[in-house]
Amino acid sequence: MKILMTSLAALVLSAPIALAQEDDAPSQDTVDAIMTMLTDMSCEMDPDDIEVEDEGGYDLDDVICQGEGQMDIELDDDLNIVERRME
């Protein structure tokens, strides 16, 4: 019974670690490329708002572009704009 309880406790305590490892963050090179692209577009955002999409590509939340306002931008894997949504 002690072994069962110890195993169960280890499983419960390791679950948040396993979930955190599943969270795919973009590589630093990808973040740098996206931020450079946004600068060239006269836009800015917090790099922490770059999300990797499950089906591929990236979702950029709360992008602020000069003369256009705040929007969300969806990129494909090659960093091409797929969609721009005004907020």
> Chain-wide mean pLDDT for the chain?
83
Let me know if residue 48 belongs to a domain. Answer: yes
Let me know if residue 10 belongs to a domain. Answer: no
Let me know if residue 56 belongs to a domain. Answer: yes
- What's the burial of 37, exposed, middle or buried (CB within 10 Å: 0-12/13-18/19+)? middle
Gap between the Cα atoms of 46 and 31, Å rounded: 10
Let me know if residue 5 belongs to a domain. Answer: no
Is pTM beyond 0.85 here? Answer: no
Structural domain boundaries, residue 74: 25-86
Let me know if residue 11 belongs to a domain. Answer: no
| Host H or E run for residue 80 | none
How many domains are there within the chain?
1
- Checking if the pLDDT of 78 tops 70, the result is yes
CA angle centred on 60, ends 87 and 72, rounded to 5°: 15
Q: Which residue has the higher pLDDT, 36 or 3?
A: 36
Write the CA distances from 29 to 3, 19, 52, 68, integer angstroms.
45, 24, 14, 27
Let me know if residue 6 belongs to a domain. Answer: no
